[in-house]
Amino acid sequence: MSYENTPHPDIDAALTLEDAAALAGYTVAGFRTTMSKLNKAGNDLRAPARPGERARRYDADKLKAWIEGGKQVPDRLSSPSLDPDATVVRAAAQHTNGTWTATLENGGTAVGKNLRALHDNAAALAAQALGVSTNQVSVELDITPPGETAQKWAETVEQKAKGQEMISAAIEERHRIVAALKRDGFTNDDIAAMLGISSQRVQQHSKGTATE
């Protein structure tokens, strides 16, 4: 749906939540969630509040520009409107006693109840130390999962890889078994009945294209 082809009765081009959501192609709930993220990133698309208005309306021009710009929503751990020449600051993040802590390169320490809050607080701390605004600082968190999480996850990755190798080896062996039976003169139907698979699967094993 394009903005130009969607008429709206409000002559002041201030859209209700429902109208704005429909225009952007969202459900009302989805639009509200997306707008909340934009508001936190400093990109409020709402029109100025009017006296007696119970719910803020949305500025049609701002909404149009956002839609035409691809409806971009900031990443949950990225700084809003980040300066292209922002200074990169690395910080080691770890979770202890129910709190995330980030130790910045300059020795400063930021805390947060979740990674989003930690990132924002670390950016504010780094910006203060450098004497710049937060959009001129790009904080990159080196996250250490709590306890044995990282080790256990790495083990599952290794186990999955080994499992895939075993599956591949088993499939190759099935190819060889079917090929041997065909060399012995058995028909596809005979092989299917003996192995408990379909004739189509026998053909796939014969061609080496079966995946299970």
| Residues 132 and 154 placed together within one structural domain of the fold | no
Yes or no: say if 84 and 135 are a contact pair by the CB < 8 Å rule.
no
In a domain, 184, yes or no: yes
The type of residue at 24 is A
Q: Where residue 93 falls among pLDDT bands split at 50, 70, 90?
A: very high
How does pLDDT run across 102-111, given as a tens digit for each residue? 999 888 899 9
Domain boundary among 144, 165, 189: 144
Residue 42 is predicted with a pLDDT of 65
Yes or no: say if 102 and 90 are a contact pair by the CB < 8 Å rule.
no
Q: How far apart are CA 107 and CA 90, in angstroms?
A: 11
Beta strand 109-112 pairing with 99-104 = antiparallel
In a domain, 110, yes or no: yes
Is pLDDT larger for residue 170 or for residue 211? 170
Residue 9 is predicted with a pLDDT of 41
Yes or no: say if 91 and 139 are a contact pair by the CB < 8 Å rule.
yes
Q: Where residue 74 falls among pLDDT bands split at 50, 70, 90?
A: low
| Residues 155 and 201 placed together within one structural domain of the fold | yes
Residue 177 is predicted with a pLDDT of 92
Yes or no: say if 103 and 92 are a contact pair by the CB < 8 Å rule.
yes
Nearest CA-CA partner of 136 in 89, 88, 86: 86
In a domain, 201, yes or no: yes
| Residues 154 and 200 placed together within one structural domain of the fold | yes
| Residues 100 and 132 placed together within one structural domain of the fold | yes
In a domain, 191, yes or no: yes
Is pLDDT larger for residue 72 or for residue 117? 117
Instruction: Examine the pLDDT at 40 and tell me if it is beyond 80.
Output: no
In a domain, 33, yes or no: yes
Nearest CA-CA partner of 120 in 84, 73, 80, 90: 80
| Residues 52 and 21 placed together within one structural domain of the fold | yes
In a domain, 187, yes or no: yes
| Residues 117 and 97 placed together within one structural domain of the fold | yes
In a domain, 189, yes or no: yes
Q: Where residue 8 falls among pLDDT bands split at 50, 70, 90?
A: very low
Is pLDDT larger for residue 92 or for residue 47? 92
Residue 34 is predicted with a pLDDT of 86
Residue 159 is predicted with a pLDDT of 92
In a domain, 212, yes or no: no
Yes or no: say if 93 and 142 are a contact pair by the CB < 8 Å rule.
yes
Q: Rounded mean pLDDT of 144-159?
A: 87
Residue 80 is predicted with a pLDDT of 54
| Residues 93 and 116 placed together within one structural domain of the fold | yes
For the whole model, what pTM was predicted? 0.46
How does pLDDT run across 158-177, given as a tens digit for each residue? 998 999 899 988 989 999 99
With H, G, I as helix, E, B as strand and everything else as coil, classify residue 88.
strand
> What is the residue range of 133's domain?
87-144
The residues near 194 (Cβ < 8 Å, ≥ 6 apart) are: 181, 186
Lowest-confidence range among 16-30, 68-82, 126-140? 68-82
Q: Rounded mean pLDDT of 51-55?
A: 73
Count structural domains, the chain: 3
Question: How much is the mean pLDDT over the chain?
Answer: 82
